[in-house]
Amino acid sequence: MANLVIKNMPDTLYERLHRYARENNCTMRAVVLSAIERELERWEWRKHLAQRPETDLGVEAATLLMEERARRDSEIG
């Protein structure tokens, strides 16, 4: 298993990390690994999403949303 060292971490960030770990009853290592994993998952998702072809609805999505909300509101009364 590889090791990762973080040098020159700002004191305020270190204290926030320490407090978060303590309040969530876990280690700082667990918090950092979880944060790295989440960030990599976000990056992979954005990369995957960027590869999808664009879809032309013929109208702005915001317009469709407003129309649907208006239809729903009229049904609710």
Domain ranges of the chain: 11-76
- Which pLDDT value is given to residue 46? 97
CA distances from 36 to 7, 39, 41 (A): 17, 5, 9
Q: Are 33 and 21 in contact (CB under 8 A)?
A: no
**Taking the model in full, what pTM does it have?**
0.67
Rounded CA-CA distance 8/53 in Å is 43
Say if residue 77's pLDDT is above 80: no
pLDDT tens readout for residues 1-54: 999 999 999 999 999 999 999 999 999 999 999 999 999 999 999 999 999 998
